[in-house]
Structure 1
Amino acid sequence: MEGLKMADTELMVYIHPSKCGNEFSAVCRELSSLLFQYDETLDGVLLAFDFTMKSKGAKVLAGLNPYFGVKVESKLLLFNPKPNSRVEGKIVKISPESVHVIVLGFSAAIITDVDIREEFKYTMRNGEGCFVSTSHKRHVLKVGTMLRLQVQSFDEEVMHIAGSLLPVDTGCVKWLEKQSEEALRSVDLEDHKRRKIT
């Protein structure tokens, strides 16, 4: 999935003197406070981290409330989907006007009817609303479906994605992967036939 990136960074983490007895735990607590929030310095939403203390000693910072600055080397997993990138999420609600998706369990995405390609038509199946492709009857978008969508914009403050299903490489992830496998098989068969002839 696009929008996820790993970053190797050196950070200076500031901890209160009362926490200097266990620097590792204090640094872990400070980094944990950044989880699932957009950070401009990191240019993304921090999803996970791993770190090692760079030095044993901490630098005392002068001021009214002196803090310790601890240098750490860290690996960070960040989420920052850019416009036109593809992300995947689970459909949680469908109406004739929109599809609502949860991406990575914390970011909401919405695709409005103007951003759903014309081949998808809203219908009721077994008492539930869904979008069914008129070109491929097995390509169905319903609640619980894993969906690949194109990012139009990402609001960092509320973690909200405005998405689109207009590109042909968007839709039900399972169906798209099956189509991709079948296309590869047919290319392999044609290649095999050509080799036999020559």
Structure 2
Amino acid sequence: MEGLKVSEAKMMVYIHPSKSTKIYDAILRELSSLLFKFNENFNGVVLAYEFDILDKSARILNGIHPYIGVRINAKSLIFSPKPDMLLEGKVVKVTQGSIHVIVLGFASAIIPEQDIRDEFVYKIKHEEEVFSSKFHKRHVIKVGTMIRFLVKSLDEEILHISGSLMPAHTGCICWLARHLEDGAVTERSKKKKRENEEESILQDHGTVSGEALSVKDDHRIKKSKKGKRPKAES
């Protein structure tokens, strides 16, 4: 899935002097406060992290409430969706006017009716609301379906994504995987057929001084000459 990246940066973490005997736990607490929130410094949402303390001798910073500054090297997993990226998520609600999705278990996304391609038709099957493809009966989107969709925009404050199912390569992930695999098999079959045809042509033709000579045509010509009768003289 697009939108995920690993970011590595050197940081200064400020620890209250009362936590000086438990520096490691205090750093964990500070970094944990960044999780699942949009951070401008990382230009995304921090999903996970690991760190190493660079300087064992921390500095005490002057002020009304003096803090201890600890330098660390942090590696973070960042979720940073941008327009035109492809994301994957689980459908949690389907209505006639929209499809609601949860991405990575915390970010919400909505795909409004105007951004769902005409291939999908809203139906109620067995008392369940679904969007079903007019061309492929097995391509169905319903609650619980994992789908791939295109990002249109992101509201950074509430982590709300506006998505689209207009591109042909979006929809139910399971169906797309089978469809793309079938397409790859078909392409390989076409390639194999072309290779067989080329091999057959090479077997039927010889090459002399860079010029191709047809064995079949040459054989036919010789046979024709052999069976030719002499013309009677008048």
> How high is the TM-score relative to the length of structure 1?
0.97
Q: CA deviation at 1:196?
A: 2.8
Task: Give the secondary structure class of the aligned counterpart of 1:132.
Answer: strand
Aligned amino acid, residue 123 of structure 2 = T
Q: Deviations over 1:25-55 (max 9, x none)?
A: 1111100011001111111111000111111
What does 1:30-179 correspond to in 2, within 5 Å? Answer: 30-179=30-179
How many angstroms apart in 2 are the aligned matches of 1:154 and 1:97?
A: 20
Aligned amino acid, residue 54 of structure 2 = K
Question: How many residues are paired up?
Answer: 198
How many angstroms apart in 1 are the aligned matches of 2:176 and 2:90?
A: 15
How many angstroms apart in 2 are the aligned matches of 1:114 and 1:193?
A: 42
Give 1 or 2 for the bigger CA radius of gyration. Answer: 2
Residue segments in structure 2 that go unaligned for 5+ positions in a row = 200-234
How many angstroms apart in 2 are the aligned matches of 1:42 and 1:64?
A: 29
Q: CA deviation at 1:142?
A: 0.4
Q: CA deviation at 1:175?
A: 0.8
Higher helix content, 1 or 2: 2
Aligned amino acid, residue 30 of structure 2 = E
- Identity among equivalent pairs (%): 49
How many angstroms apart in 2 are the aligned matches of 1:11 and 1:23?
A: 15
Deviant stretches of 4+, over 6 Å: none
How many angstroms apart in 2 are the aligned matches of 1:62 and 1:191?
A: 72
Q: Deviations over 1:121-176 (max 9, x none)?
A: 00011110100010111110000000111111111110100111111111001111
Q: CA deviation at 1:91?
A: 0.3
Q: What value does the CA root-mean-square deviation take over the aligned residues?
A: 0.9
